[in-house]
Amino acid sequence: MRKKNLILITILVLIPVSLFAADKSKLEWGKMPGVTLYKVEIRNTLTGGIMNYSTPEDHIWVEIGFGFYEMRITAFNKSGTEVTSTDWIPLTVMKTYQPEISRLRILQNGSAVLEGDNYYNKTKISIFRSGSPMNSQITKGEYPKKIYFHAPFQRNTKYSLLVENPGDYNERKIVHVFDNSSTMLFNNEHEYTRYFSDLFALASINYQFLSNEYWESTYDAGINSATITAGYHIFSWFGITAQMDFTHYKTKKTAGGDLDVTNNYITLQPGIFFSYKHKDFVPYIFGSAGGAFSWLSAETPESDLEYNSTDLCFSAGVGGRIFVYRSLFTDLSIAYSSVKLKSQPMEAFSIRLGFGSYFK
């Protein structure tokens, strides 16, 4: 948790003073005509120790810890004669922190409560809609965890939220208000786009291995398949897909020892999926069914055979997507598939690794 020192002036001096917190604290005042030097004294009210500063400018930077102090400014002209001096005035140096936003709730009476940490009675809240500021008013606080305020939120609307603490600390969030007045917070526009994007495309390579013996032989396992998928979220939890597979298999050996079989097929499968859509990840389960076009070739010592067929196929599995950059994601899934080739099912499990993107 980052922290800085913020100096609060509790009594105004004769020369206007404004203070701003940075890595050091800045004391600034209105410059007086004819003054060439300012002497600034800061006294610790607990220990009585005094720190002295001199400057021709209208400000100084100081390093003092939090606590209670008194300050006095004396002004001199170019001949070194004292022009004016202030009384000792109290200074309060307080700790201030980065505000933390964790949740925004809209209550039944139309007010809202901001939950988080490091809120003060000096904390400010600003709400923007389409870049224009809205009227918002803080009504009370349960510091440092909660702030209650009024703002004219509308349903199904996007807002920008800015929370500011003294010392130039601030945190920004994007807020979306849903139909039921619940809200969701996003750190930036990319997270917002991820969540509300409905259309996506995905390409993956697959490591496949057969779960049954086809043509009474064992087929090569390995990276022998690729999948292209396009999908659309009808709701955040449900959607439709169109999937195309390209697969190649070749026998290692056959019962007779002289038959070399190569089999390829392309599938086209419409399907559905159920997902939990988050701004950072999307776990899902899916199922699809469609048609497969296959072409098979068999080489023997006497002749070569070719056979083409159109058959049924289906697949199902579970997976998840993790966003890696803006709306780009990496996808990892495990799938089971079955393709009927010449009326005999070829069943396989596959591990799919892919990359894709959501589109707004």
Residue 235 has pLDDT above 80, yes or no: yes
Give tens-digit pLDDT for 81-121: 999 888 898 887 777 889 999 999 999 877 999 999 999 88
Beta strand 37-44 with 3-9 is unpaired
Binned at pLDDT 50, 70 and 90, residue 258 comes out as low
Q: What is the DSSP string of 223-290?
A: EEEEEEEEEEEEETTEEEEEEEEEEEEEBS--SSS--EEEEEEEEEEEEEEEE---SSEEEEEEEEEE
At 10 the pLDDT is: 33
Same domain, 122 and 147: yes
Residues of the domain holding 110: 98-187
- Work out the average pLDDT over 234-241: 96
Same domain, 42 and 84: yes
Same domain, 118 and 203: no
Residue 9 has pLDDT above 60, yes or no: no
Binned at pLDDT 50, 70 and 90, residue 7 comes out as very low
Give tens-digit pLDDT for 310-357: 889 999 999 999 999 999 999 999 999 998 766 677 888 999 999 999
Least confident of 111-115, 218-222, 233-237, 300-304: 218-222
301: CB partners within 8 A, 6+ apart: 258
Same domain, 85 and 130: no
Give tens-digit pLDDT for 57-75: 988 888 887 788 998 999 9
For the chain, the distance separating the N- and C-terminal CA atoms, rounded to the nearest angstrom, is 36
Q: Are 122 and 166 a contacting pair, CB within 8 Å?
A: yes
Same domain, 288 and 206: yes
The winner for highest mean pLDDT among 15-29, 57-71, 154-168, 201-215 is: 154-168
CATH assignment at residue 29: 2.60.40.10
Q: Are 31 and 58 a contacting pair, CB within 8 Å?
A: yes
pTM given for the model: 0.70
Same domain, 329 and 275: yes
- Work out the average pLDDT over 149-159: 94
Binned at pLDDT 50, 70 and 90, residue 6 comes out as very low
Same domain, 313 and 229: yes
Residue 168 has pLDDT above 90, yes or no: no
CATH assignment at residue 298: 2.40.160.20
- Extract the tokens encoding 325: 């950059």
Q: How much of the chain exceeds pLDDT 70, in percent?
A: 86
Tell me the HSE value of 260 on the side-chain side, using a 13 A CA sphere.
Answer: 6
Q: How much of the chain exceeds pLDDT 90, in percent?
A: 58
> How many domains does the chain divide into?
3
Same domain, 87 and 103: no
- Work out the average pLDDT over 149-174: 93
- Work out the average pLDDT over 73-79: 92
Specify whether the backbone of 356 is left (phi greater than 0), alpha (psi in -120 to 50) or beta.
Answer: beta
Query: Hey, how many other C-beta atoms are within 10 angstroms of the C-beta on 156?
Result: 8
Same domain, 150 and 72: no
Last residue of a domain, one of 65, 96, 127: 96
β-sheet bridge partners, residue 38: 55, 75
Last residue of a domain, one of 141, 159, 187: 187
Same domain, 200 and 178: no
Least confident of 2-6, 155-159, 232-236: 2-6
Give tens-digit pLDDT for 240-251: 999 999 988 776
Q: Which amino acid is at 77?
A: N
Same domain, 81 and 180: no
Same domain, 139 and 108: yes
Q: Report residue 253: phi and psi, to 5°.
A: -160, 165
Q: Calculate the average pLDDT of the chain.
A: 85
Least confident of 88-102, 147-161, 184-198, 210-224: 210-224
Last residue of a domain, one of 70, 96, 122: 96
